[in-house]
Amino acid sequence: MVISLKRAKLLVGVLVLVLTFSGLVSARPQADVSGWAAVDTFVRYQIDVNKAWGTSENSYFVDELTQLVLRNFDEELDARIAQYAGNLTPEQREQLKYLLVSDYVSYLYQKSFYPKNAKTLVVKPIKIASVKKGDKIYDYYYTSTSSSIPYPIHWWVQVKKDMDGGYGRDRHGNYYWINGNNNISYIKIFYTSNDVVYEVHFYDEDDPNPLKDKYFDRERCRNYPGRDSTYGCEDIESIEVKDGYIIFHSDWSHVCENGVCVDQTFADSPKHAAGRRPYKNDIAIYVSNVMNHMMDVIDSNPGMAKHWGYVSWT
């Protein structure tokens, strides 16, 4: 049953109803908030409770929590996008709400895995060379960082259309028409002696539909005060590397359902998933397998031109 915001209360000591598939609680924490602040309070509470119970680390926790938010806050989210509703089809309105919520849930969930007492570096790579080999161009970047960072990742590969803009169809036949300017602006590194998180900042994130993208940017910047709005609204994604594995907590482009696994492509309707791959020193991260910067060490868009960036962490 969907509980309205005004009626939803969670009293101390009262048992909560637990959804059997993931441990997500259906009641809401008591809070005198409304609108997006209520969504924020609810999401943070769910993440904290499920991490404490050990029920948050399944492959689709972010997607399941997103669906729970959509069910419980449908009226509030409709009011949130009401000013745009006349320009969008019912399907596009539902897609916009899903994108807004899943983006927010994913960001908060990723941050919950940042290592405690970590050292922090903010690095903006400086391009020092560009080399053409066959039909590929490799750009080389220099950064002044600490050699004590464990698990360095040197290759960061991005779909060229994500940077330059344009239109076409991806490998799954999905049509896209995007503005571009979604380049990596800088990388923030959180690290200990055996754990490192790469927080990757992109200037923007484009929806394949230009009309929906305009509203998506506007709402995301409202939800994330202080983000760079030079080209739309800054996107932030992170990956963790520890114990010999690259861990994608909610931005893995590889999804599996009912025993069938597929690699999401650039203009797919994205689904947030978690997973891991073995770390190797020469490994490459394909940071825009999907338009919202879900990634993997495998290229899911082999027919699309790429920008190959090599970062020297010295």
In what helix (H) or strand (E) does residue 38 lie, and over which residues does it extend?
Answer: helix 35-53
- Asked whether residue 198 falls in the same domain as residue 301, the answer is yes
- Asked whether residue 171 falls in the same domain as residue 233, the answer is yes
Which one-letter amino acid corresponds to residue 147?
A: S
Show Cβ contacts of residue 173 under 8 Å, excluding neighbours closer than 6 positions. Answer: none
Of 82, 112, 142, the one marking the end of a domain is: 112
pLDDT in tens, 132-186: 888 888 898 887 766 678 999 999 999 999 999 999 999 999 999 999 999 999 9
Neighbouring CB atoms inside 10 A of 201's CB total: 19
Measured distance CA(69)–CA(64) in Å, rounded: 9
Of 112, 138, 162, the one marking the end of a domain is: 112
- Asked whether residue 176 falls in the same domain as residue 230, the answer is yes
**Residue 87 confidence (pLDDT):** 84
Of 52, 80, 112, the one marking the end of a domain is: 112
End-to-end CA distance of the chain: 55
**Residue 20 confidence (pLDDT):** 32
* One-character DSSP codes across 259-289: TEEEE--TTS------EEEE--TT-EEETTS
The stretches of 73-122 forming alpha helices (DSSP H) are: 74-80, 82-85, 90-111
**Pairing of the two strands 306-313 and 136-143:** parallel
Give percent of the chain above pLDDT 70. Answer: 88
- Asked whether residue 197 falls in the same domain as residue 96, the answer is no
**Residue 28 confidence (pLDDT):** 52
- Asked whether residue 102 falls in the same domain as residue 132, the answer is no
pLDDT interval class at 35 (50, 70, 90): confident
- Which structural domain range is residue 223 located in? 119-313
Looking at the structure of the chain, the number of domains it has is 2
pLDDT interval class at 268 (50, 70, 90): very high
* Residue 256 CA: distances (Å) to CA of 235, 263, 271: 25, 9, 11
Bridge partners (DSSP) listed for residue 310: 140, 155
- Asked whether residue 39 falls in the same domain as residue 136, the answer is no
- Asked whether residue 99 falls in the same domain as residue 132, the answer is no
- Asked whether residue 152 falls in the same domain as residue 98, the answer is no
pLDDT in tens, 56-71: 988 999 999 999 999 9
- Asked whether residue 129 falls in the same domain as residue 251, the answer is yes
- Asked whether residue 283 falls in the same domain as residue 206, the answer is yes
- Asked whether residue 148 falls in the same domain as residue 227, the answer is yes
Q: Is the pLDDT of residue 13 over 50?
A: no
pLDDT in tens, 202-248: 999 999 998 899 899 999 998 898 899 999 999 999 999 999 999 99
What is the chain's mean pLDDT, rounded? 87
- Asked whether residue 107 falls in the same domain as residue 136, the answer is no
Q: Is the pLDDT of residue 123 over 60?
A: yes
Provide mean pLDDT across the span 38-49: 96
